[in-house]
Amino acid sequence: MLESILSTSTDLTIAQFLILTGVSLLLGLISALIYMHRNTYTKGFVLSLVLLPTVVQTVILLVSGNLGAGVAVAGTFSLVRFRSVPGGAREIAAIFTAMAIGLATGMGYIAVAALLTVAVGLASLLMVHLRFGEQDENNRRLRVTMPEDLDYTKVFDDVFAQYTTRTDLKKVKTTNLGSMFELQYDVTLRNRDQEKAFIDALRTRNGNLNIVLSRLPANNDEL
């Protein structure tokens, strides 16, 4: 059932090439559609996901099934395309999945390529719907500016105890020629509905200077 449709004793036929190319395009399209589900993306990137399996498949066929040479060439193509594009873990996983599909079809293992697409796609959709690995929605990044004559190590302790369950001081730097401190915290709010009250309480301690409360960056834990 999982045997290759290619024979080592005969040359590649036009019919076999068209079948493999059609399968690669179809599986690439399915993989791209799965990636587009609840993800931000660009048109160029999803088009690349559709076409990448076909490109890798053709490379494998051109090197006559030499897997080592084919992977080396296909890897070089991917580096040229994506080396200047800052990609996250999801983009990297999608690229490697598309390459794996192309490797399977290039070796003639259509069933393996189809099973891989289904397995990875179902796993991806399941983890998205289960919100697997997502950060706590109460996590925030807090930046506070305060005069340098205040003791920043204790001035907010009671406010943090009232409005947060976790506070982690990440960075302290001086601004305004050393007359101000800028503090950066990662905090977990007790109640998101009390964000304004939390900020107001901080303002009474820092002299009503600049305060920024935002979500943690999406790529905070990316590869």
Q: How many percent of the chain have pLDDT more than 90?
A: 43
CA angle 69/3/122 to nearest 5° reads: 85
DSSP class of residue 34 equals H
pTM of the predicted model as reported, rounded to 2 decimal places: 0.68
Torsion of CA 164, 169, 170, 171, to 10 degrees: 130
Q: Pick the residue with more confidence: 77 or 179?
A: 179
Q: How many percent of the chain have pLDDT more than 70?
A: 84
For residue 22, what pLDDT is reported?
95
Q: Are 190 and 165 contacting, i.e. CB atoms less than 8 angstroms apart?
A: yes
Range 191-199 average pLDDT: 91
Distance CA 26, CA 183 (A): 51
DSSP class of residue 5 equals S
Is pLDDT at 212 greater than 50 in this prediction? Answer: yes
For residue 208, what pLDDT is reported?
87
Is pLDDT at 70 greater than 80 in this prediction? Answer: no
Range 104-113 average pLDDT: 91
Distance CA 169, CA 184 (A): 6
Give the lowest-confidence range in 81-95, 105-119, 173-187, 202-216.
Answer: 81-95
Range 140-148 average pLDDT: 92
Tell me the pLDDT of the chain averaged across its residues: 84
Q: How confident is the model at residue 20 (pLDDT cuts 50, 70, 90)?
A: very high
Is pLDDT at 131 greater than 50 in this prediction? Answer: yes
Tens of pLDDT, residues 24-56: 999 999 999 999 987 888 888 899 899 999 988
Segment (H or E) for 214: strand 211-215
Domains, the chain: 14-129 (no CATH), 139-215 (3.30.70.260)
Distance CA 134, CA 97 (A): 22
Tens of pLDDT, residues 79-107: 555 544 555 778 888 888 998 999 899 88
Distance CA 110, CA 102 (A): 10
DSSP class of residue 11 equals P
Range 180-209 average pLDDT: 91
Give the lowest-confidence range in 18-32, 127-141, 178-192, 201-215.
Answer: 127-141
Strand partners for 182: 145, 173
For residue 216, what pLDDT is reported?
80
